[in-house]
Amino acid sequence: MNREDFPMLAQDIVYFDNGATTLKPKCVIDKTVEYYSEYGASSHRGDYDIAYKVDQEYEGARDKVRNFIHAKYLEEIIFTAGSTESLNLIASGFFKKLLEPGDEVLITKSEHASNVLPWFSLANTNGIKIGYIPLDDNHYVTLDNVKKSVTPNTKVISLAYITNVIGDIRPIKEIVEFAHQNNIFVVVDAAQSIGHIKTDVQDLDVDFMAFSAHKMCGPTGVGVLYGKKELLEEVEPFILGGGMNESFDNEHEVYYKELPTRLEAGTPNIAGVIALGSAIDYLESIGLDNIAMYEKDLRKYLVDRLLTIPHIDIINIESDSGIVSFNITDIFSQDVAYYLNKYNICVRAGNHCAKILKKEVGVHNTIRVSLYFYNTVEEVDMLVELLLDKDKILKEML
């Protein structure tokens, strides 16, 4: 649906790599151009009209984000460069000073690198331990397994809401409830979920959450860190400089601003933030529930068709998101991706930055199709038809 909104789809391509980044609707592209061509001044500075307009747009986008994820306060929305920066900011700005040797952070083997490496770094600097919540037979996280994994040393549980290879939607609300009963913080990497299912941070009661604009029809290079106000107050800015300081005279007299500005040093990605606001308007006009339902139906259609092909092995048959990972017997995933590229079909091949997952699922690399609402049954048919004949793939993949 809504294909006409996406200039990229005017080309003869089938875009199935939405887990990496989504396409941008014209309204988002136009908003970026609007900023640069109509009021391209800096934010939070200047007393002239267009500077005021920038602030209105920039802070207006913050309020759109707040409303979109149902956060309580505006100050709980921090603009960053993306999920990766958000997660790093939390690990090094909050948990680094809080965690002590022997404290444990629980993650899973199916996390993206950006929800693994910041914790590995703390393991090396702070002597914390990394624990892994075991995945069930479908590679899902269950509340039971979370309960079994928690020890008296567990201080943090950090999970993707939806994982980027398996595509399972984690029971975050239940996990948070249990975690908080045990004084454990919960960090959620919402990169893969934010544009696909409704998010209500107050209902979930998560402590911190990270996401990127570009995976929700917004521009690249901008993202959000959400944190409960009382926790964000404790976050040490890890980037210092202009915009975030109140005053300074010498190294002993430095005063930082209040939230959220304190954590947004330097001239921000103004165009990106404003365009993220447009992406939110756009997604809300379609409706997150409609998007989720559409994706689920299309995914089922794709999986049902793939299941009829004997040389295809699906890693995640059951999954509620739009992600399908599979392999073709005896053909390297990258070769399949190159083959499909010859028909202008864009899919991802590889380990999708989930490098510790391979031991868990026993497969190193996969072909990943990640759907979005602008994908169609016809596109799925085209893909499936091209995968029916293994000899054809072998013949044409080079």
3-state secondary structure string, the chain? Answer: CCHHHCHHHHCCCEECECCCCCCCCHHHHHHHHHHHHHCCCCCCCCCCHHHHHHHHHHHHHHHHHHHHHCCCCHHHEEEECCHHHHHHHHHHHHHHHHCCCCCEEEECCCCCHHHCHHHHHHHHHHCCEEEECCCCCCCCCCHHHHHHHCCCCEEEEEEECECCCCCCECCHHHHHHHHHHCCCEEEEECCCCCCCCCCCHHHHCCCEEEEEHHHHCCCCCCEEEEECHHHHCCCCCCCCCCCCEEEECCCCCEEECCCCHHHCCCCCCHHHHHHHHHHHHHHHHHCHHHHHHHHHHHHHHHHHHHHCCCCEEECCCCCCCCEEEEEECCECHHHHHHHHHCCCEECEEECCCCCCCHHHHCCCCEEEEECCCCCCHHHHHHHHHHHCCHHHHHHHCC
Least distance in Å: CB of 387 to another protein? 17
303 is written with which tokens? 């999986």
d(CA 26, CA 219): 11
Contact (CB, 8 A) for 222 and 276: yes
Of 353 and 384, which has the nearer Cβ to another protein?
A: 353
Kindly report the backbone phi and psi dihedral angles of residue 129, in degrees, each rounded to the nearest multiple of 5, phi listed first: -105, 150
Of 238 and 332, which has the nearer Cβ to another protein?
A: 332
Of 273 and 397, which has the nearer Cβ to another protein?
A: 397
Least distance in Å: CB of 393 to another protein? 11
CA dihedral 160, 161, 167, 168 (to 10 degrees): 110
Q: What residues line the site for another protein (CB under 8 A)?
A: 332-335, 338, 349-351, 353, 355, 364-365, 394-395, 397-398
Of 215 and 368, which has the nearer Cβ to another protein?
A: 368
Least distance in Å: CB of 332 to another protein? 5
Least distance in Å: CB of 333 to another protein? 7
Least distance in Å: CB of 334 to another protein? 4
Of 62 and 368, which has the nearer Cβ to another protein?
A: 368
Least distance in Å: CB of 370 to another protein? 17
Least distance in Å: CB of 394 to another protein? 7
Of 256 and 332, which has the nearer Cβ to another protein?
A: 332
Of 300 and 395, which has the nearer Cβ to another protein?
A: 395
Active-site residue list: 353
